[in-house]
Amino acid sequence: MALLHKDKIAIARSDAGERLDRVLAARTAHSRSRLKALILDGKVAIGPRTIRDPSYRVNAGDMISLTVPPPEPAEPAGEHIPLDVVFEDDEIIVIEKPSGLVVHPAVGHGSGTLVNALIAHCGDSLSGIGGVKRPGIVHRLDKDTTGVMVVAKTDRAHHALAAQFADHGRTGPLKRGYLALVWGAPERAKGTIDAPIARHSQNRQKMAVRSGGRTAITHWQVLERYQGPDGKPAASLLSCRLETGRTHQIRVHLAHAGHPLLGDAVYGRGFKTKESRLSPSARAALAALGRQALHAYLLVIEHPATHETLTFRSELPSDFARLRRALAGSRLGLSDG
């Protein structure tokens, strides 16, 4: 049976006058939001008095008692789904997400998700995110997007990683790199798409570039260009780096730029007829792929506990690599720039 965890924290003179939740966040491994919930739930006392105000100003010499209940059982239930684990310690787990795996339970996907798999895989090593034994999802990949992902196992890691992803690498080492096979060939060798993204006005399942949407910035660079049997540019391989993290951002931005992802049935539907411009081997490889050609190949993070910079690279999955090889049989040179 799990036991209550109790901490005794003495307030130093330098902490005098600070908010209770801020002092506890600086002196414990819990996030400020988790501590606020514990304070409101009556789990924090100073001397004999229970303090239920997160903004309470502490005094030098105060002795704070913090009682943390054991994490509640995970919801949803764990499922034994095979995982390709790249790295794991007490704080985080990094996995290679395959195509077809939904990250988080939602309507229509109540089971069989990455979260279900992680709950079973990590077991008691999940110390509780927000008081529940569950993995902390700080970024997501679409169901059919492959590549490297990091997930938090502790409240401290969840809080630290969430801050890194919110910062988008502006002040820290965070980097997210993607490889994308797109229709056509951009005239320039590299560029930036700065266009706001919001829900589509008619189809709530889709995103779109819309005035008044949330800021979205994608940096791209052409790595390879491929010609069709007619000698004209048919497709390209791009590397993409996110400066923001909006839903379907790369897919929406590249479609908006006139170069949707190969195999994207949602945002590249109008380019279906362009398959006739591919070689027979490339058409067969695209049919076998059966999804958008997008792969998260690079992830750089700061470890939430050791503060070490960790770099993870992911090789192309076999179906993506096969399509690239088929297209590369007719590669065009890159322009300077």
Exposure of 106 by Cβ count < 10 A (0-12 exposed, 13-18 middle, 19+ buried)? exposed
Verify whether residue 167 is a known catalytic residue.
no
Residue 80: Cβ within 10 Å count:
9
Tell me the three state secondary structure of residue 272.
helix
Domains, the chain, with CATH or none: 5-68 (3.10.290.10), 84-167 (3.30.2350.10), 175-332 (3.30.2350.10)
Peptide bond into 98 cis (omega under 30): no
**Cα–Cα distance for residue pair 242/296, rounded to 1 Å:** 11
Tell me the three state secondary structure of residue 270.
helix
Which pLDDT does position 41 carry in this prediction?
85
Tens digit of each residue's pLDDT (9 = 90 or more) over 37-90? 889 889 899 988 999 999 999 998 899 999 887 766 656 788 999 999 999 999
Torsion of CA 15, 21, 25, 27, to 10 degrees: 40
pLDDT surpasses 80 at 329: yes
Q: What is the pTM of this model?
A: 0.77
pLDDT surpasses 60 at 335: no
Work out the pLDDT band at 331, boundaries 50, 70, 90: low
Tens digit of each residue's pLDDT (9 = 90 or more) over 8-36? 888 888 888 899 998 888 888 787 888 88
Q: Which of 142, 144, 264, 319 is catalytic?
A: 142
Tell me the three state secondary structure of residue 95.
strand
Q: What angle do CA 325, 330, 332 make, to 5 degrees?
A: 110
Question: Side-chain half-sphere of 291: how many Cα atoms within 13 Å?
Answer: 14
Widest CA span in the chain: 83
The two structure tokens encoding residue 70: 């054991």
The type of residue at 107 is V
Work out the average pLDDT over 128-132. Answer: 65
Closest by CA to 301, choosing from 134, 156, 167, is: 167
Cβ within 8 Å of residue 287, ≥6 positions away: none
What is the percent of the chain where pLDDT is above 70?
91
Phi, psi of 31 (to 5 degrees): -75, 160
CA 258 to chain centre: 25
**Cα–Cα distance for residue pair 331/151, rounded to 1 Å:** 37
Residue 199 near residue 209 (C-beta atoms within 8 A): no
Tell me the three state secondary structure of residue 3.
coil
What 8-state DSSP symbol labels residue 332?
A: E
Exposure of 185 by Cβ count < 10 A (0-12 exposed, 13-18 middle, 19+ buried)? buried
